[in-house]
Amino acid sequence: MILRDLLDLANKEKRKQERKKAAQKVAVGMGLAAAAGVATGMLIAPKSGKETREGMKKRAVDSVENVKDTVRKRVEMVKDCAAHAEQEVSNIIEDVQEKKEAVKNDIMDGHHEISADIHKTAENISKEMNKPVK
């Protein structure tokens, strides 16, 4: 059993080292690809460096503004949804309170009707008990 545990531990360590080497290869490959992309872009760029930087800056500023506008719109949408949900919940609470009162009134009315029926039935039983036997 101990030998098996040692072999498992050695295999785990070996797989860990292999994954680490694979990750390093991927990172180096991505770095080389990025460098090649930058170099190619500089070589085939139709504009001068200054123009390219200004264009990139303008696109970055425009992107930031677009993100800000989108966030503002989403915040307003969330606020509107929250206000609508609050109103809906208030309406539901009000409706439930009205129904509660209606049920309460029905129970009270039913109680009085049942009480009257019980008294009437008791009177009828009392009259029946007092009748002479035939």
Chain-centre distance for alpha carbon 62: 31
Per-residue model confidence as pLDDT tens digits over 88-102: 988 999 989 999 999
Distances (CA, A) of 9 to 3, 12, 14, 19, 124: 10, 5, 9, 15, 93
Q: In the prediction, which pLDDT does 76 show?
A: 93
Q: Whole-structure pTM over 0.75, yes or no?
A: no
The residues spanned by each domain of the chain are 1-49, 58-134
Per-residue model confidence as pLDDT tens digits over 63-115: 889 999 999 999 999 999 999 999 998 899 998 999 999 988 888 888 888 88
Q: What angle is formed at CA 101 by the lines to CA 95 and CA 106, rounded to 5 degrees?
A: 125
Do residues 29 and 21 lie in contact, with contact meaning Cβ atoms separated by under 8 Å?
A: no
Highest mean pLDDT among 41-50, 73-82, 119-128: 73-82
